[in-house]
């Protein structure tokens, strides 16, 4: 049915397709009449929040009748101390997704362009297009590269022309799990002109640090045009609270705060995020569980004859060698929700988040049955 107000919308919005999140277990169970489904589709932490964050959430209930601190002073101070920067360099967001949109709103116009890689995070084109900006899509590495379908720094740089204002780089990248190493990232940052904002999306940094993926915050002082984004939605287990942040030059942060919505991070989110920063034990348990989960999924899926890309995140990208949608639908009937990524131009791939040990085994058993039924 045609939208009666289509022609009243901004041109960029008219061309948009909304972001489609992973299906929640409750919806699947309603649709199929099943119980005890598991969701390995949205890269969430299967352990959820740690005890310090849970206690902080309980204590924050008394304050939810009041507006939050609009500046997020305490959390910004903690993040500044953690990263060795000034609080004036920290911008809080309703998840890092919010910060990505702020960046597009601040720096993009219909006369300007944004660059991102072929298989990069779906929010980059959405944010750029909503701002009316054109996109320049850099070709990714081929499937047989050591970082299959990952960012190709030379291809990214080749797209940076006079009209480009933002370059988005996810490290590691979603949905591929691939990454740029320290040398590659350093060369790329040095080559991009200083009047181009480089957005280094490090949503999976905590998971990736042990794989030799560089910490982009080290380059902030050298490159004033660099913005590093992080989130509490992944390793810290706070996806439902929606809290993320950007680290940047103070002048960039000043501009972001001009478009940042007031009170964009809630009272519970501010409290839980601050507490989560102190819970090293929970973070260590999360990282250990993910390391074993990635190893088990990689081994188990490969044993089923599937290609699994290297990953520095909390998910694996699996090449089924056949259409992925029917396999995903069959897994749903088994009560296992994974993420098809045809919307990324990868119709034969599934992205599978790591779960608990029991969830990983259930996924592997269900996958074996589904593939055998389709042999």
What are the tens digits of pLDDT across the range 104-139? 999 999 999 999 999 999 999 999 999 999 999 999
Nearest to 239 by CA among 179, 198, 281, 286: 286
**pLDDT surpasses 80 at 23:** no
Q: What is the largest CA-CA distance in the chain?
A: 58
Peptide bond into 175 cis (omega under 30): yes
In angstroms, what CA-CA distances link 277 with 45, 80, 144, 176, 307? Answer: 15, 12, 39, 27, 36
Is pLDDT larger for residue 43 or for residue 33?
Answer: 43
Beta-strand runs (E) in 140-224: 164-170, 197-201
Q: What is the pLDDT of residues 309-322, one digit of tens each?
A: 999 999 999 999 99
Phi, psi of 5 (to 5 degrees): -110, 10
What number of residues does the chain have?
A: 375
**pLDDT surpasses 80 at 16:** no
CB 177 within 8 A of CB 313: yes
As a whole-number percent, the residues of the chain with pLDDT over 90 amount to 88
Answer positive or negative: Cα dihedral of 154, 181, 76, 64: positive
**pTM (two decimals):** 0.94
As a whole-number percent, the residues of the chain with pLDDT over 70 amount to 98
**CB environment 128-165: b (16+ within 10 A), e (fewer):** bbbbbbeebbbebbeeeeebbbbbbbebbeebbeeebb
Domains and CATH numbers, the chain: 6-48+281-373 (3.90.1150.10), 64-276 (3.40.640.10)
Q: What is the pLDDT of residues 252-285, one digit of tens each?
A: 999 999 999 999 999 999 999 999 999 999 999 9
Across the strands, what pairs with 136?
Answer: 115
Q: Residue 19: its pLDDT value, please?
A: 63
Beta-strand runs (E) in 9-60: 38-39
Q: Which residue has the tokens 């990689």?
A: 298
DSSP 111: T
Burial of 31 (0-12, 13-18, 19+ CB in 10 A): exposed
In angstroms, what CA-CA distances link 144 with 158, 175, 179, 248? Answer: 22, 17, 15, 35
């Amino acid at each position: 049915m045609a939208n009666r107000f289509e022609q009243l919308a901004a041109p960029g919005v008219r061309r948009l397709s909304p972001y489609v999140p992973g299906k929640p277990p409750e919806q699947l169970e309603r649709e199929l009449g099943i119980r005890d489904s598991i969701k390995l589709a949205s890269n969430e932490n299967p352990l959820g929040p740690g005890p310090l964050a849970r206690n902080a959430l309980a204590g924050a209930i008394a304050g939810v009748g009041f507006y939050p601190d609009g500046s997020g002073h305490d959390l910004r101070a903690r993040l500044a101390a953690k990263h060795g920067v000034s609080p004036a360099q920290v911008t809080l967001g309703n998840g890092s997704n919010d910060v990505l949109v702020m960046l597009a709103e601040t720096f993009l116009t219909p006369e300007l362009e944004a660059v991102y890689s072929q298989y990069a995070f779906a929010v980059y084109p959405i944010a750029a297009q909503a701002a009316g900006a054109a996109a320049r899509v850099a070709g990714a590495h081929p499937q047989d590269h050591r970082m299959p379908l990952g960012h190709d720094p030379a291809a990214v740089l080749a797209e940076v022309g006079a009209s480009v204002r933002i370059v988005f780089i996810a490290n590691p990248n979603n949905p591929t799990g691939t990454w740029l190493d320290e040398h590659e990232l350093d060369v790329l940052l040095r080559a991009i002109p200083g009047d181009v904002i480089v957005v280094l999306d490090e949503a999976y940094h905590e998971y990736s640090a042990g794989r030799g993926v560089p910490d982009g915050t080290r380059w902030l002082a050298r490159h004033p045009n660099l913005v590093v984004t992080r989130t509490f939605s992944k390793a810290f287990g706070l996806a439902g609270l929606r809290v993320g942040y950007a680290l940047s030059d103070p002048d960039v942060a000043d501009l972001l705060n001009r478009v940042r919505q007031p009170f964009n991070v809630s009272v519970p989110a501010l409290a839980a995020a601050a507490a989560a920063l102190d819970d090293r034990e929970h973070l260590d348990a999360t990282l250990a569980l993910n390391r074993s989960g990635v190893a088990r999924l990689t081994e188990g899926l490969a044993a089923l004859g599937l290609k699994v890309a290297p990953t520095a995140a909390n998910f694996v990208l699996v090449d089924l060698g056949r259409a992925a949608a029917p396999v995903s639908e069959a897994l749903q009937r088994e009560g296992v929700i994974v993420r098809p990524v045809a919307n990324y131009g990868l119709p034969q791939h599934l992205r599978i988040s790591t779960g608990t040990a029991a969830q990983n085994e259930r996924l592997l058993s269900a996958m074996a049955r589904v593939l055998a039924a389709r042999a």
